[in-house]
Amino acid sequence: MQTRTKGIVLSETPYGETSKILNILTSDYGLIGVISKGSRNIKNKLRGVSNKMNYCEYTINYKENALSTLIEGNIINSFKNIYVDMKMAMYSFFIMDLIYQTLKENNNKDLFNILESSLSKINDGLSPELISIIVELKLLKYLGVTLNLDSCTNCGNKDNIITIDVNQGGLICKECYHDGYIMDSRALHLIMMLNKVDLLKISKLEITDDKVYKDIDDFIYEYYNNYTGIYLKKKDRIFI
C-alpha cells in the first residue's frame, strides 16, 4: 500500500552494494523498517533523505510486519543548528537512542511527537540537558514505570514533600520519611516542574545551577537502571 507519513530516521544500516535499511519513527505507523534502494549512490534522489535524524514527509510502499520500501522524501526540518553543535548533536543522539530502545518495548506512535518536539526545541536553542530530562520522564509512562511526582507515594499527601525515593518510585513527605537520601529542595522543585512541562509549549529553558541538574540526572539514571530494563548512557560519558 502506498502511503505518505511524517517520519524521523532513527538508524541506518548499509545494505547490499548501494542501499540502506532505515528504521524510521513515523507519525502514523510507529517504528517501521524501510529499504532505501540505491541511497548510497551519490546521484540517487533518496540520498539526502535517508540519513539518521532526517525529518521528512516520506512516501512509502508500506507493508505491515515486513520491510517497507521508500519511494521519496521531502525534508520538513533539517535541524541545521543541531548538526553544527557537538553538544546539541550528542544530546539529540542520546534522545534518539533512548526512544529507539523504548519503542522496542512499546511501539507507540505517540513517541513520534515526543521525538519531533524535543529535537525541534534543542534546534531552537533550549537546554539540551533539560530537554533530555523531560524526555526521560515522559518515556517512563510508555515503559510502565511512571514516577509519582505529584504527591507522596506512600500516603498521597501533597504538602511537606521533602525528598524523592528511587525504590518507592516517587515523592516522600515529611511524615513518611524515615532515613536515607534527601534531594536538594531546588532539584525537587525542578524535577516536579519538568515532569509537567508540555514540550510543545515551552519557549525558554536553561540550566541555572549545575548541581541541581546533576542531582536530577543522577536520580533518573539510577531509576532507569533499576526499573526500566533499558540501559541509559551516563551523560558525562556522552562526550567520550
Q: Which residue's CB is nearer to Zn ion, number 131 or number 152? A: 152
Beta bridge partners of 57: 6, 74
- Between 76 and 162, CB nearer to Zn ion: 162
Residues binding Zn ion: number (CB under 5 A): 6
Our CB check for Zn ion shows the closer of 115 and 152 to be 152
To Zn ion, the closest distance from the beta carbon of 212 in angstroms equals 23
Give residues 200-239 in contact with Zn ion (rule: CB under 5 A).
none
Segment 81 to 100, residues that bind Zn ion, using CB under 5 A: none
Min dist CB 153 to Zn ion, Å, is 7
Least separation in angstroms between CB 104 and Zn ion: 35
Q: 144 vs 156, which CB is nearer to Zn ion?
A: 156
What cell does 147 get? 514516577
Angle, helices 86-105/110-123, rounded to nearest 10 degrees: 170
Q: Give the separation between CA 203 and CA 48, rounded to whole angstroms.
A: 30
Q: How far is the CB of 53 from Zn ion (least distance, A)?
A: 43
Q: From CA 156, how far away is CA 27, in angstroms rounded?
A: 36
Q: DSSP label at 124?
A: T
Please report how close the Cβ of residue 226 comes to Zn ion at its closest, in angstroms.
21
What residues numbered 119-178 form the site for Zn ion, per CB under 5 A?
Answer: 152, 154-155, 157, 173, 176
Q: Nearer to Zn ion by C-beta: 176 or 220?
A: 176
- CA–CA distance from 46 to each of 23, 49, 64 (Å)? 15, 5, 22
What single-letter amino acid sits at 119? L
**Contacts with Zn ion in 30-69 (CB under 5 A)?**
none
Closer residue to Zn ion, CB minimum distance, 60 or 171: 171
At its nearest, how many Å lie between Zn ion and the CB of residue 58?
Answer: 49
The whole-angstrom separation of Cα 75 and Cα 187 is 39
Residue the block writes with cell 524526555: 135
Distance CA 49, CA 96 (A): 17
Q: Which residues contact 208 (CB under 8 A, 6 or more apart)?
A: none
Q: Would you tell me which residues interact with Zn ion (CB under 5 A)?
A: 152, 154-155, 157, 173, 176
